[in-house]
Structure 1
């Protein structure tokens, strides 16, 4: 029997070696196609599919493609870099094209005006993002070696690229590879220690490890390391999930309103009163399941369909609905300047806090705007070519100067993040210091019932785990819900439903519960150490470009 197992193992190894050999020897368009398909297949590891095993196929294929990334001996330095760069670009293009195609839905909301921008949204954005993964593969190939060294080099390259993706060109870290390793709360807890940078690095390191099955070098070491990392990931998750959440005795009773308003009506003057009445009626419903009356009510992004400066009667109506001691936090457009005909009038995507008397007591403006959706970068230059906003909206927006916590009843501090601001780990980590709750308001109706809203919710969910703070999220058409400090969904509304969520949230000490130091610093330390490890192996073998 042992003889048969040994023979089966050898046969399996030979099959992997033959498969790897065929991939390594691919050339031309076949090599590009396999890289594209490998990247596209890896998308299945992201929400809502959560098939993380896909990455255990895609990344070994990428390793073998890079093994064969050779240039002519007489080629110059730039020419020698091109094969690895091209492989990474095709891998990235497949990954982002299949993972972000739903962005095109935003430009079709008003197709008569914006259908021309569909190719730019669906193809142009993935085409540009693919350069980050091209850079990752180029960096990895510069450190390339035999055996496990190249796995470390690839993990370092991707970790560096994903870190750069958080801030370069305004930043867009959507669907970072690390999310593939966190499909459920049990597997989300490690991010509280090593942050997204660390998760990105270690996820690629483990996902790419099966590439060693096609050879003998470092096979046992690699499998042992992968097993230890996976065991630590799962074990720490189990420990943290089973450990009671520290609380300080305070509770906040909240209501989330999900109105599910069709975008075709969003800025239609003829139906604004009906939309506002819908919001009021949902907010005024009796508390559900015997829960206490909400101390805070949360409305989604831009849920107020007009400027409060134009409709003072709306504040009177809110004062009639809200009780003393209640606060409404609502997404609303805000203007400064008071005269829409003036060129210096500024518009903000904001959340406003309104007390029981119908008075606006605070406001926070969106700081990180969506390029080409909420503003045009280098607007004067693009205006020469007649280029305006790609996404239908009421006006171009001005970014806020800073973000601060809103005081809500019960001596609670809540920091709001509007729409995709919640996907930036470092942005959230900085702004939630000495805070009790994270608020996220959004309007994902732009993207319909596609993977986009599910991916957005997952990234918001991870922010709760990173910071050790509960998350309250209101989305126009979903997904709205309450997420606890461990990333578990306390209650939520499904997509495209109209309703409310009532919940009582026990609060942790301000600033969250993570006692292991900054996850951001921990992630960068892991990135640095793995880079040193990969470079040492690569330089030790003195392997150069072929």
Structure 2
């Protein structure tokens, strides 16, 4: 169990910012060896569970820093939160090892195939049930280095993020077989499947990328004002924060600009505050459009005709140079304990409030939507945390030209922002769409439809990216069918394992 715990901790070094992906594959090879060496299903579960503890405690260490901005709780409680999260999330790798051992323990090759299948299924479940925490799928190690796409990353155009995670398990299984049995046909199969799917994913990317309408008008500016979380909501710093936004936005030019500001860029409720809108519009040219994050209040009228705020929405607004709101998108996937407090009666009794300031919980929006931007095409909004959900970022009936991911990673330390960026890159590759990220403190970036980072602003630096809007590709296989593909791939791996088990020795 100590070896499993250490291997799990080592496996997390493959994620950003370290990017030591060979260590991750080696650690999973150790997990396979340990699981095949046990005699009971409950021990197989415990092995995967303890591995998961090391994996998630190290990989999610950035969560601890967020409690430094929560006035009701001591900062040290952040590490307690990390451990509690790991205790829950480790159930999924434990389930994956237990099921694979139960069915395929007789043959190492069949175990590896089944483990890849169960990992795909449990990673999908982790993102879909209860606390739906999709952060750091195993596939993210393929884009953990800023300057490269990675050899296997193109396969997500076919099998999606969860399918790529399964392919990485197959490669870890191949490493195990090299040192265990040296069965070359099995080894060739476990290596060949990932390579074939990666080549197919590369081939699936159209050679011709399609630009949005009015391509000659596609100049964009991505703003990173470097506003620290400690002063973001402090009224005493409100003017200084706005001046930072204004300074990095720059002056209007003869060319129309599409400008991107971060999540919750301004504290005002701009939908109900025309003065705040005009103040913002003073920074824009006549044909400019600004995309920015702000909060919308949800107001209800009681029987006596009195109006009161009952909730809020974390929203993305499109605003023109006259201060008029052109469109709004409301965040659908909210952060537990960040934007709303589950079991409010209990947690308030022990002194815990949400990490986001304010007395009202945020309410979820209806889901992915596409907003029309006159002269600049169509944008799909995904606010902050939402971008990590594979297969849930695009309105498939109204495909956008690009995705905008306004975010605020200022309270997630040095590890959270690069991990967030890596997962945004996976969405770009999966969907064949450019992704634009704007954050207060970084990492803001322009990502093209291949998942390449065209330009970025480093963490904790102020700046502006001035660039042409990257073109979209035609819908990928995954973009057409979503997570049906990786689940079918998992079934295919199970079928292959069962076929091998039926062969005479």
TM-score, length basis structure 2: 0.90
Per-residue CA distance 1:231-253 (angstroms, 9 max, x = gap): 43554566567944344664222
Q: 1:157 aligns with which of 87, 97, 118?
A: 118
Per-residue CA distance 1:141-180 (angstroms, 9 max, x = gap): 1112223111112111211111111211141121111222
1:486 has 2:455 as partner:
no
Q: 2:170 touches 2:191 (CA, 8 Å); kept in 1?
A: no
1:330 has 2:292 as partner:
yes
The Cα shift of 1:388 comes to: 3.5
Match of 2:19? 50
1:213 has 2:182 as partner:
no
Q: 1:444 aligns with which of 409, 412, 428?
A: 409
The Cα shift of 1:228 comes to: 2.2
Q: 2:268 touches 2:276 (CA, 8 Å); kept in 1?
A: no
Decide which moves more: 272-281 or 89-98: 272-281
The Cα shift of 1:87 comes to: 0.4
Change (3 A) 1:525 1:406: same
The Cα shift of 1:67 comes to: 1.6
1:306 has 2:272 as partner:
no
1:466 has 2:435 as partner:
no
1:272 has 2:233 as partner:
no
Match of 1:35? 4
Change (3 A) 1:102 1:368: same
Change (3 A) 1:66 1:538: farther
Q: 1:193 touches 1:518 (CA, 8 Å); kept in 2?
A: no
Number of residue-to-residue matches in the alignment: 493
The Cα shift of 1:92 comes to: 0.5
Change (3 A) 1:92 1:495: same
Q: 1:399 aligns with which of 351, 364, 383?
A: 364
- What's the secondary structure of 2:270's corresponding residue? coil
RMSD: 2.7
Equivalent-residue separation in structure 1 for 2:113 and 2:343 (angstroms): 39
Equivalent-residue separation in structure 2 for 1:300 and 1:496 (angstroms): 14
Match of 2:136? 175
1:293 has 2:262 as partner:
no
Change (3 A) 1:132 1:475: same
Equivalent-residue separation in structure 2 for 1:540 and 1:120 (angstroms): 49
Structure with greater proportional helix content: 1
- What's the secondary structure of 1:189's corresponding residue? helix
Q: 2:220 touches 2:467 (CA, 8 Å); kept in 1?
A: yes
- What's the secondary structure of 1:34's corresponding residue? helix
List gaps (5 residues or longer) in structure 1.
1-31, 72-80
1:91 has 2:51 as partner:
yes
Equivalent-residue separation in structure 2 for 1:111 and 1:123 (angstroms): 21
The Cα shift of 1:62 comes to: 0.9
Equivalent-residue separation in structure 1 for 2:449 and 2:477 (angstroms): 10
Q: 1:134 aligns with which of 94, 98, 106?
A: 94
1:115 has 2:75 as partner:
yes
Q: 2:256 touches 2:285 (CA, 8 Å); kept in 1?
A: no
Change (3 A) 1:135 1:233: same
- What's the secondary structure of 1:321's corresponding residue? coil
Match of 1:7? none
Equivalent-residue separation in structure 2 for 1:231 and 1:346 (angstroms): 49
Change (3 A) 1:294 1:140: farther
Decide which moves more: 246-255 or 260-269: 246-255
Equivalent-residue separation in structure 1 for 2:502 and 2:6 (angstroms): 31
- Trace 1:358-437 onto structure 2 (pairs within 5 A): 358-383=323-348, 385-386=349-350, 388-395=352-359, 396-410=361-375, 412-430=377-395, 433-437=398-402
Per-residue CA distance 1:35-89 (angstroms, 9 max, x = gap): 0111111112112222221133112211121122214xxxxxxxxx310111010
Per-residue CA distance 1:394-422 (angstroms, 9 max, x = gap): 34211123342222132511011111100
TM-score, length basis structure 1: 0.84
Change (3 A) 1:342 1:35: farther
